[in-house]
């Protein structure tokens, strides 16, 4: 079977590269999709896959109208998989070696304007435990710039209220402290006092943010309730939980924070990843100029 080494490769990603569950799931889906296509072509051995088979697969993805970014992600997963097999001696020729990397336009991250973020944060109903939780989640995301995966991994002892920071575990299990402003700290305290006790099913549960069954909140649930608040707040554009991270970075830079500091807060390994937000702020400043200056 073509899947013979896939589980071994996924275990390698987790053990050697500290890949997150989210990353492993993406790799697994993308590689299995390719292996299913190969089996449909009658190919049941890794060694039989050649450059023309790869070209045929890419053509099929184009026919199915996959976005260039999605195709690029699938190619990246398959390249890693075949490089792993090459190093392990499972194959002698890498059919992806001749496949060029797709050039992608730099996609500028979306962010919310101050009045939009204010409307979103005011949307939850604070008379319910879920509303208290949702406000605390969104305030924390906006105040800190942490990833949603980092937020749902927080425990009750992750917050240092005296110093106004949270300890998060980022990509590659790297620890970092992120700031929490007074609004986020207040919403967290309100949630812990009036919301979390009503959601908790197990007194020993360590997770900070709980779902309605008393277990740890997950990424998908956060996305779902933020989508609901966006629908309730008519003036908002379509957004996602990650937009709160983009908004944090954009607002910090617009207010004069230096790039290195924002890089540290976001947990980016390379400053080039953070630099994309300088393009966002330049575009924003240009749009403000165009609207405000009589001779723009």
Neighbours of 282 (CB within 10 A): 11
- Grouping H, G, I as helix, E, B as strand and the rest as coil, residue 213 is coil
- Tokens of residue 112, six digits: 């919310």
Helices (H) and strands (E) in the chain, counts: 14, 3
- List C-alpha distances in Å: 108 to 17, 104, 114, 226, 243: 28, 12, 18, 21, 11
Compute the distance between CA of residue 232 and CA of residue 145 in angstroms, rounded to an integer. Answer: 23
- Tokens of residue 239, six digits: 């957004």
What is the set of active-site residues? 147, 171, 242, 245, 268, 277
- In degrees, rounded to 5, the angle at the alpha carbon of residue 228 between the alpha carbons of residues 222 and 229 is 90
Compute the distance between CA of residue 206 and CA of residue 204 in angstroms, rounded to an integer. Answer: 6
Q: Which helix (DSSP H) or strand (DSSP E) does residue 49 occupy?
A: none
Q: Which residues does residue 165 pair with via DSSP β-bridges, in sequence order? A: 160, 179
């Amino acid at each position: 079977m073509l899947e013979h080494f896939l589980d071994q490769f996924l275990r390698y990603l987790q053990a050697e590269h500290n890949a997150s569950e989210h990353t492993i799931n993406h790799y697994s889906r993308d590689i299995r999709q390719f292996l299913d296509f190969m089996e449909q072509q009658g190919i049941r051995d890794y060694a039989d896959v050649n450059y023309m088979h790869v070209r045929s697969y890419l053509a099929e993805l184009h026919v199915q109208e996959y976005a260039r970014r999605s195709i690029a992600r699938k190619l990246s997963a398959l390249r890693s998989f075949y490089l792993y097999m090459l190093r392990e001696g499972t194959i002698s020729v890498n059919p992806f070696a001749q496949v060029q990397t797709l050039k992608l336009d730099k996609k500028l991250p979306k962010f919310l304007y101050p009045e939009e973020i204010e409307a979103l944060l005011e949307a939850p109903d604070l008379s319910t435990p879920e509303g208290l939780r949702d406000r605390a989640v969104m305030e924390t995301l906006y105040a800190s710039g942490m990833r949603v995966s980092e937020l749902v991994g927080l425990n009750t002892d992750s917050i240092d209220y005296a110093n106004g920071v949270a300890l998060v575990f980022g990509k590659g299990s790297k620890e970092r402290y992120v700031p929490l402003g007074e609004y986020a700290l207040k919403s967290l305290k309100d949630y812990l006092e009036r919301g979390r006790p009503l959601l908790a099913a197990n007194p020993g549960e360590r997770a900070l943010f709980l779902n309605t069954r008393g277990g740890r909140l997950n990424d998908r649930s956060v996305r779902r309730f933020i989508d609901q608040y966006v629908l309730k707040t008519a003036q908002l554009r379509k957004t996602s939980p990650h937009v709160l991270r983009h908004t944090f970075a954009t607002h910090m830079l617009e207010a004069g924070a230096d790039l290195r500091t924002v890089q540290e807060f976001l947990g980016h390994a390379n400053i080039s990843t953070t630099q994309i937000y300088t393009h966002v702020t330049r575009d924003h400043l240009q749009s403000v100029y165009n609207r405000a200056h009589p001779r723009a």
